[in-house]
Structure 1
Amino acid sequence: MAVSQIPGYRYGDPSLPPSSISLDDLHRIQQALLFTEDDVRALRRAGEILAPQVSDILDVWYGFVGNHDFLLAYFSTPDGPDADYLARVRARFGQWILDTCRAEYDESWLAYQEEIARRHYQDKNKTDGVQGAPPFIHFRYVNALIYPIFATIRPFLEKGESDPAEVERMHQAWLKAVLLQVTLWSQPYLREGAF
Structure 2
Amino acid sequence: MSDSLNIPGYSAGTTAVAASPVTLADFALMRKSVLFDDQDIRYLRLSHEVLKDQVEAILDVWYGFVGANPHLLAAFCAHDGQPLGDYLGAVRRRFGQWILDTARAEYDQRWLDYQHEIGLRHHRSKKNRTDGAAASAIVPFRDLFLLIYPITFTLRPFLAKAGHSAEDVEKMHAAWLKSCLLQVTLWSRAYVNAGDF
| Shorter-chain TM-score tier | over 0.9
The residue number in structure 2 matching 1:3 is 4
Distance 2:164 2:9 in 1: 37
List structure 1 runs of 4+ shifted beyond 4 angstroms.
Answer: none
Distance 1:60 1:192 in 2: 35
Q: What does 1:46-65 align with in structure 2 at a 5 Å threshold?
A: 46-65=47-66
8 Å contact kept, 2:12–2:110: yes
Deviations 1:106-149, CA, capped at 9 Å, x for gaps: 11111100000100002111111012x11010000000000001
**Structure 1: which amino acid aligns with 2:126?**
D
The residue number in structure 2 matching 1:29 is 30
**Structure 2: which amino acid aligns with 1:192?**
A
The residue number in structure 2 matching 1:167 is 169
Distance 1:102 1:12 in 2: 15
Q: Does 1:115 align with 2:103?
A: no
Deviations 1:140-174, CA, capped at 9 Å, x for gaps: 00000000011000000110133100000000000
The CA RMSD measured in Å over matched residues stands at: 1.0
The residue number in structure 2 matching 1:144 is 146
**Structure 1: which amino acid aligns with 2:25?**
D
Distance 2:148 2:61 in 1: 14
The residue number in structure 1 matching 2:127 is 124
8 Å contact kept, 2:66–2:73: yes
Q: Does 1:187 align with 2:189?
A: yes
Q: Which runs of 5+ in 2 are unaligned?
A: none
**Structure 1: which amino acid aligns with 2:43?**
A
Higher mean alpha-carbon deviation, 38-47 vs 72-81, is at 72-81
Deviations 1:52-81, CA, capped at 9 Å, x for gaps: 000000000000000011111110102610
Q: Secondary structure at the match of 2:97?
A: helix
8 Å contact kept, 2:74–2:81: no
The residue number in structure 2 matching 1:86 is 88
Distance 2:176 2:163 in 1: 15
The residue number in structure 2 matching 1:40 is 41
Q: CA deviation at 1:38?
A: 0.3
TM-score, normalising length: structure 2: 0.96
Q: CA deviation at 1:15?
A: 4.0
Number of residues of Structure 1 aligned to a counterpart in Structure 2: 194
Q: Does 1:153 align with 2:133?
A: no
8 Å contact kept, 2:152–2:173: yes
Distance 1:189 1:15 in 2: 20
